[in-house]
Structure 1
Amino acid sequence: MVMESRSYDSSREKPLAPVSREAARTGQPSLEMLVFCCILTLAGIATLNRITVHASHIRWTPCPSTYPASLECGRLAVPVDYNHPNRAQISLGMVRLRASTPRALGNLIVNPGGPGNSAVSVLARQKQRQLVSRNLTLHYNIIAPDPRGVGASHPVRCDADVASRRVPGYITSIDDFDKLATWSETLGKSCARMTGPVFYHLDTISAARDLDRIRRALGDEKLNYMGVSYGTQLGSQYAELFPEHVGRMVLDGVLDHSQAGIDSLMTESMAAEDSFHRFTRWCNTTSKCAFYSRDLPSIFDKLVDMANEKPIPALGCHEGVVKACRPDVTGYELISQAQEDLSYPKEWARLSRALHEASEGNATLLSPRLTPRNESLPVSSQPYTYCYPCARRARCLAGLRVVARLANLVAHRVRRAGLVDDPRQRRHNPERVLVLEIQINCIAWPAPVTNPERPLSRERLARAPPILLANSLHDPSTSVVWAVGLREQMPTAVSIFRDGGGHTSYWDYGHVQKAMDAFLLNGTMPEDLAVYRS
């Protein structure tokens, strides 16, 4: 698609559109996150423009009538490519929830993770308590911008038919590998064609520079920031780039961008193994589990094997003219769809019911959602930083098999990516080992890696004020090992931990949330390395 060049005219921008009711839950590692996962919809986005001057202010306007009346909607122009800031620009969309008290502490920017989750959607659906407490909304103006490529900020758009196409879940041969590579390349090229030049500038560094443009446009000397899951990488890389502009920063569910792909794979494999065992132990101790007092691991293994032999019907997906989900579910898809609920212990009862229904022949609750043609796909370059440069098919397949077997050595139930000679050789784990899945699904992806893994600069981060890091000890998606790894790169970091499971901790509304709030509200930093029960 050829993008039209014209002078910038802010009056021609489209307002933020009504938010989809099916936007995904915040904080989900959509690292969560491949192009067909976690669909977030906000149509009617401003087009790409060519300008010669910097936009220095945010245009705040009334939001659509479908939004809460308390929200204001804003837009800010930023460069597509910060190496050429006076060339093409895009418009970032955001919402603002003003503080309830006259004496506000200023602005607090929030990011709900993903990558690919929409901050605008969170507030538009009045789900802000997932990110900020009532105390924070009393004293801060909450600024919720969508990162570039997401929701209200020039979202990535791809061919929906390609995105919804079923591809091999288990790579057992060169033929499987070629099918997956062809799909990935075709999908990626469609995304590049339909999205335009910004597709090649969706890295976290560019998103961090966008944050600084927002800070400056708000007139703030310091950036106050709350980031969860992928939002922690965005925050940490912002702190490295602009340490002198860091205000009060809280990072919950920490990513460590310094780990090489194999290290991240091993770490996440062990975290996934731990999470699965916690889920099965819970099932053995509570009647809320649909498999109470039964051997859930064996049942799950048989269920996945059965779905691999013959996909399980998803009876609820046959209704209506336009199917919103697949009419049947493979074992690979069953594992993938189970991940969302496994990451949140409060959803474990629902997950057990979904698995129980599937065992009785109806996998509707575990069916992958298909992508309607009018929806955008939240794609970030960040998930593709571990892509293999596959010059030769056999060598690449062999390399992926090596890392998959290493994962199996440290986590016997982990077989998320299916890189085995016989899918029935492994026991199954309903927790995604996302790093390995990314390595597989990004084969032949057309966008180059622009933000490869590396340690952050301790010298630069030493100039930042204290930054609060929080992690649960049994987080299945962002391992506590990553939280410790990022801490080692941040001389001013203070770390707290929650002795529990689930992805991120703020949503638990316990002592960890209170510690985060105390720091954001009055600068009170908790004891370093403190461990809380909630």
Structure 2
Amino acid sequence: MSRRTVAVIVAVLTILAGLPASAHAGSTPLSLAWAECPDDLPNVPLDPRVQCARLRLPVDWARPNGQMFELAVARRPARVSHQRVGTLVFGPGGPGDSGVERIRKGDRFSDELLDRFDLVSFDPRTVARTAAPVCTPDPTLRKPPIPLTSQADFDAAVAYNRALWSRCRPTSPVFDNADTLSTVHDLEALRRALGERRLTFHGSSYGTLLGQQYAEQYPGRVRAVVLEGVFDHSLDVRSFVRTQAAALQDAFDEFASWCDRSAECVLHDRNMRSVWAGVLARADSGEYAPRTAFDVTAVALGMLAGPRWPQLAAAVRDMDGGMPPPEVNLPIAVAAFCADWPATVRDYDEYAGLVREAEDVAPAVRYGAGLLAVQTCLGWRSPVRNLPHDLHVHTRTPLLLLNARHDPRTGYAWATNVARQLGRHGRLVTYEGWGHGTYLRNECTIAVVDRYLVDLTLPTPGTGCPAN
């Protein structure tokens, strides 16, 4: 039998197994040398049970024998070894969250999961300990405001972004290979290095995209996949901006209703919506310069994720009293997000149309996080490495989706749309409450996820969990 025939047979068998050939190529063995973690987290003492390792992987899975990088991994062993089910891999959100830090802290899991699983996570490409780039803005360029107000602003934003990326790129070997599909193959390599026959996975927020695409690429390797705070990767730019704004408007409406009825709200005796509108008008007039109305909206976006309603009411009161909006850090791992999602906006007129689209569905809050995402990725090369598409998942065990009814970041409409795409290969559970991140909300949400992960027990269709 010729070498060519053998190669063809191997490739066909690999495809039939649902495993991309590139993910198995290369001569480097997959191994994890566990050792004590670096003491690099302020106020988080080292736990001798938690171990760290680095997994050596290809920068580009299409070139498995080419340049390599090291994926930072952490593990917290099961507390009750004789009841151990296996290994649960946690997919961090963001993009930009550190999975290593989640494992170090151990605060993202129930007691049952801590008892019965080895808990493992990692810092995805370009995040924290995994080839994170050093990105310093070009000091000769002014960072454009959000929202942009002219074609000159639009051109300046593209120039600013491209100059920033050119300074990032040389400092990280994976900057141009940080898309989620590449991380999917990293995750499969991690599963193999852990010695797990099939993957048990819990993805949060942007980490749900990793879980979705892993199930799509490696259906035969899925044991159980939880998607908590579901990201919808099927949307075009207009739908993305519109649904993000609508989700924030819905969460703001819930907050405003609470303020009307609750004496805990410091604006309870006033018309909170009118006060909020006045704060936005002050921002428009330049009273908080250099902060803009978007910075005011970002305060709501940050606090509604909790949700931290009393704190948001106090912040609105303070801004009404003349204080500028507090700075809100909404970091995005640019190299990952911009490679997953095309900000195909050609000029200011198209951009202004998106602003109007957001304001149309979110008159009180105007923007949502979608416009920040658009502006962050203006000027990224096209087509992106990981093009949006409807999911095609065919796993033996359906994926479990969990989403709050009133989530300001991954709106409920995203969860229902992903559930529609999954069909019988997904099961959506609704938390009838508020905020971003729902697993540890109450006994119901914990039980739904834990029974699925431990016993592979799916809740009945239409299951919901009451709000706290």
**Short-chain TM bin:** 0.7 to 0.9
The CA distance in 1 between the partners of 2:140 and 2:267, in whole Å, is 34
How far is the alpha carbon of 1:293 from its aligned partner?
A: 2.4
Q: Which runs of 5 or more structure 2 residues have no equivalent in the other structure?
A: 1-24, 40-44
User: Which residue of 2 is the match for residue 116 of structure 1?
Assistant: 96
User: Which residue of 1 is the match for residue 245 of structure 2?
Assistant: 269
How far is the alpha carbon of 1:334 from its aligned partner?
A: 2.5
Q: Deviations over 1:464-499 (max 9, x none)?
A: 422211111221211222212212222321121111
The CA distance in 1 between the partners of 2:94 and 2:196, in whole Å, is 26
The CA distance in 1 between the partners of 2:26 and 2:340, in whole Å, is 32
Whether the 8 Å CA contact 1:188–1:445 is kept in 2: the answer is no
User: Which residue of 2 is the match for residue 279 of structure 1?
Assistant: 255
How far is the alpha carbon of 1:381 from its aligned partner?
A: 2.7
How far is the alpha carbon of 1:307 from its aligned partner?
A: 3.0
How far is the alpha carbon of 1:106 from its aligned partner?
A: 1.0
The CA distance in 1 between the partners of 2:164 and 2:419, in whole Å, is 37
How far is the alpha carbon of 1:369 from its aligned partner?
A: 5.5
TM-score by length of structure 2 reads 0.87
Whether the 8 Å CA contact 1:162–1:187 is kept in 2: the answer is no
Give 1:297's match in structure 2, choosing from 262, 268, 273: 273
Give 1:338's match in structure 2, choosing from 297, 300, 310: 300
- The 3 A distance-change label for structure 1 pair 358 and 166 is farther
- The 3 A distance-change label for structure 1 pair 337 and 59 is farther
The CA distance in 2 between the partners of 1:467 and 1:455, in whole Å, is 15
Give 1:444's match in structure 2, choosing from 365, 375, 379: 379
User: Which residue of 1 is the match for residue 133 of structure 2?
Assistant: 156
Whether the 8 Å CA contact 1:79–1:87 is kept in 2: the answer is yes
Whether the 8 Å CA contact 2:340–2:386 is kept in 1: the answer is yes
Whether the 8 Å CA contact 1:189–1:446 is kept in 2: the answer is no
- Map 1:45-64; keep pairs closer than 5 Å: 53-64=27-38
User: Which residue of 1 is the match for residue 9 of structure 2?
Assistant: none
- The 3 A distance-change label for structure 1 pair 356 and 452 is same
2:445 paired with 1:512 = yes
2:299 paired with 1:367 = no
Letter paired with 1:293: D
User: Which residue of 1 is the match for residue 426 of structure 2?
Assistant: 493
Give 2:337's match in structure 1, choosing from 354, 367, 382: 382
How far is the alpha carbon of 1:236 from its aligned partner?
A: 0.5
Give 1:525's match in structure 2, choosing from 454, 458, 463: 458
Secondary structure at the counterpart of residue 440 of structure 1: helix
Give 1:399's match in structure 2, choosing from 317, 329, 350: 350
Secondary structure at the counterpart of residue 70 of structure 2: strand
The CA distance in 1 between the partners of 2:201 and 2:303, in whole Å, is 27
TM-score by length of structure 1 reads 0.76
Letter paired with 2:85: L
User: Which residue of 2 is the match for residue 318 of structure 1?
Assistant: none
2:349 paired with 1:358 = no
User: Which residue of 1 is the match for residue 16 of structure 2?
Assistant: none
The CA distance in 2 between the partners of 1:145 and 1:190, in whole Å, is 25
2:190 paired with 1:258 = no
Secondary structure at the counterpart of residue 206 of structure 1: helix
The CA distance in 2 between the partners of 1:369 and 1:489, in whole Å, is 33
The CA distance in 1 between the partners of 2:224 and 2:395, in whole Å, is 14
Letter paired with 1:437: L
The CA distance in 2 between the partners of 1:340 and 1:193, in whole Å, is 32
- The 3 A distance-change label for structure 1 pair 300 and 166 is farther
The CA distance in 1 between the partners of 2:466 and 2:405, in whole Å, is 10
Q: Deviations over 1:413-439 (max 9, x none)?
A: 2422xxxxxxxxxxxxxxxx2223222
Q: Which runs of 5 or more structure 1 residues have no equivalent in the other structure?
A: 1-50, 314-327, 372-376, 417-432
Whether the 8 Å CA contact 2:125–2:336 is kept in 1: the answer is no
Secondary structure at the counterpart of residue 445 of structure 1: coil
The CA distance in 2 between the partners of 1:402 and 1:270, in whole Å, is 16
Q: Deviations over 1:506-527 (max 9, x none)?
A: 1313312211111112222111
- Map 1:223-238; keep pairs closer than 5 Å: 223-238=199-214
Of Structure 1 and Structure 2, the greater helix share is in 2
The CA distance in 2 between the partners of 1:232 and 1:519, in whole Å, is 16
Secondary structure at the counterpart of residue 87 of structure 2: strand
Of the structure 1 ranges 238-247 and 509-518, higher mean CA displacement relative to structure 2 is found in 509-518
The CA distance in 2 between the partners of 1:368 and 1:502, in whole Å, is 17
The CA distance in 1 between the partners of 2:286 and 2:445, in whole Å, is 45
2:108 paired with 1:101 = no
2:431 paired with 1:471 = no
- The 3 A distance-change label for structure 1 pair 110 and 55 is same
User: Which residue of 2 is the match for residue 85 of structure 1?
Assistant: 64
How far is the alpha carbon of 1:300 from its aligned partner?
A: 1.7
Q: Deviations over 1:267-292 (max 9, x none)?
A: 22222211111111111222222212
Aligned length: 436
- The 3 A distance-change label for structure 1 pair 404 and 386 is farther
Of the structure 1 ranges 211-220 and 248-257, higher mean CA displacement relative to structure 2 is found in 248-257
